[in-house]
Amino acid sequence: SKLENVASGLVINRSAFGEPTITIRGQSTIYGNAQSLIVLDNFPYDGDLNNINPNDVESVTVLKDAAAASIWGVRAGNGVIVITTKKGKKDQPLQVQLTGNVTVGDKPDLNYLPLISSAGFIDFEEQLFNRGYYTNLEQAPDAPALSPAVELLIKRRDGVLSDSEAARQLEELSKTDVRSDLNDYFFRNSVKQQYALSLKGGNPNLRYYFSSGYDNNLLSEVNNSYKQMTLNSALTFTPIKKLELSAGLNYNQSSQQLNNPGISLLSSSSSYADKRLYPYAKLADGSREPLPVTKSYSER
């Protein structure tokens, strides 16, 4: 997120499926690897950028001209991102740094989505029903799911419900907006916590840097969270003037919970067989008890 919109020509392509990709100077190949080369402390880095503690980063350089290829080889054709982490310095007394921040975010604004109203959706379903659109689905042997409004129309047609009772129930459905229940039960204010502790210093022959980081993120979707712990150490030993020995250790442990599909519940589809959530779904009753939602099979 710190790289985004900072360097010209650097584009971060975010997707709902998988990690974002980074490109420099646009798409350079159709079938080949278009990912930019990431160099971490003079070594190519193929891991996830999220595994690097941002508090350990000293500087970032974006290379996008021919000089990059002359330094880093053929993989530099898609651009290079050079990341240098913090190190101890010679004759530096011990320095201890502790940082922490907490970020609180609002719930997503579901009403921002340009969705058809429940009343409009039911009117459209009734038009399709009168033209026989649901006949094959209604008679299919595997009994696929039909929305509650369509089920009411079937009951009205078959005489199970009177016209007035069916109209009353359809009117009740038309006043229901699933976004209200999603806002109450599926979303919350996000809380993101980040803490970092580092120690660095050195003498004429030895430089050292140790750090640890901890992230604890409660995402805006209820029951979704992300936790991460990082440990980083770097030692540089100079026994004689022209000889330098370096050793480092990087450790990352993360856990993620994704139990809530969130906004994908509201995705629209051109195929009724996809069984997306209808806009008048009621997820809980007045006592906040969960209600059944038509998903795979017909209520009948």
- Predicted structure pTM score: 0.73
- The per-residue pLDDT for 217 is 96
Contacts of 41-45 spanning 24+ positions with Cβ under 8 A: 41/83, 41/84, 41/85, 41/248, 44/72, 44/75, 45/83
Residue-by-residue pLDDT tens, the chain, 300 positions: 777 777 777 888 776 556 677 877 666 666 666 678 889 988 889 888 888 898 999 998 888 766 677 777 777 777 888 899 999 888 889 999 999 999 999 998 988 888 889 999 999 999 999 999 999 999 999 988 899 999 999 999 999 999 999 999 999 999 999 999 999 999 999 999 999 999 999 998 999 999 999 999 999 999 999 999 999 999 999 998 889 999 989 899 999 999 998 877 765 444 444 557 889 999 999 899 999 888 788 888
